[in-house]
Structure 1
Amino acid sequence: MSEETPDPTLRSIDLVKIGDGRYKATNGRGGVLPIGSGDDPDFTPVELLLAALAGCGAIDVDLITRKRAAADVFEAHAEGHKVRDEQGSHLVGLRVGFDLAFPEGEAGDRAREVLPRTLQQVRDRLCTVGRTVALGEPVDYVEVGAGSVTGPVTGQ
């Protein structure tokens, strides 16, 4: 009996429509996230991308700095401008800012000292979301399911 080994590199979610302009994303661990079109309090896809950029960076920053000292203040703000031009709709001027305060003393000093290099590492190699956006990986939108014969739709 051979059981198929799951691909350890694969990340996925499932999305279902739950109302007009409203959807529910579910991950493999059972986590649920409502997504909306902007007419309700749910996060829009663009806001989710900004949250993913901030969240990815925050996890990496926290993992590295908390080895020295736990932050007394740990906040992040992500922003970008949605534009439509000859390349279609996209975000420009993406920026994630961190407001961090570490305790006084030697441990806090070590955390403050490592922060600039940590932010550079997050930008240059650690944050999967940010690296994917920066590198510009193409996205294929495909039709799947019963009776589907449509292949990938690529923009290239």
Structure 2
Amino acid sequence: MSETLRFIDMEKIGEGRYKAVNRRGGVLPVGSGDDPDFSPVELLLAAIAGCVSIDVDLITGKRASADPFVVRCEGDKVRDERGNHLTNLKVTLDLTFPDGDAGDAARAVLPRTMEQVRDRLCTVSRTVAIGEYVEVESR
């Protein structure tokens, strides 16, 4: 199996409920939005926020850990001539680095880090921004 291939398997577990399973055995419930499970749109937002968070934390965390480290990802769901999709996607980071040299260093690299994450590093948001075609097939 290719080292670059990423996948999940999805299985129906109830009315409007599914479970996603990754290759490591992790399980994530997915719902239609009528229950506490994450909807597919919420999962997309979580994936964007998670990818951004991991990349930002990897770079700034070498200097100092942020506390709190809170991230919000949002967008407007619309239906137009292009079908259903999200617009106005935005990731907002609420990071507080400690006082002192380490915190100053983390704050100093944050603007460039956010640019790198947006323009190059975050696989999820880059895929959304590029607009990669999604093939849907039945077996």
Same-fold status (TM-score > 0.5): yes
TM-score using structure 2 length? 0.99
Match of 1:97 in 2: 92
Q: Partner letter of residue 34 of structure 2?
A: D
3-state SS of paired residue (2:37):
coil
3-state SS of paired residue (2:38):
coil
Match of 1:124 in 2: 119
Which of 57, 72, 75 in structure 2 is aligned with 1:77?
A: 72
Structure 1 residue 111: Cα displacement: 0.1
Say what the alpha-carbon RMSD is for the aligned residues. Answer: 0.4
Mapped to 1, the partners of 2:126 and 2:36 lie a distance apart of 29
Match of 2:19 in 1: 24
Deviations 1:94-135 (A, max 9, x none): 000000000000000000000000000000000000000000
Match of 2:57 in 1: 62
**Unaligned ranges ≥5, structure 2:** none
Mapped to 2, the partners of 1:16 and 1:69 lie a distance apart of 41
Question: Within 5 Å, which residues of 2 pair with 1:103-118?
Answer: 103-118=98-113
- Higher RCO structure, 1 or 2 (CA under 8 Å, sep 6+): 2
Structure 1 residue 72: Cα displacement: 1.8
Match of 1:86 in 2: 81
3-state SS of paired residue (2:91):
strand
Runs of 4+ in 1 over 6 A off after TM superposition: none
Q: Partner letter of residue 36 of structure 1?
A: G
**Unaligned ranges ≥5, structure 1:** 1-5, 145-156
Structure with bigger gyration radius:
1
1:49 and 2:37 aligned: no
Q: Partner letter of residue 97 of structure 2?
A: F
Mapped to 1, the partners of 2:118 and 2:58 lie a distance apart of 15
3-state SS of paired residue (2:118):
helix
Mapped to 2, the partners of 1:46 and 1:20 lie a distance apart of 18
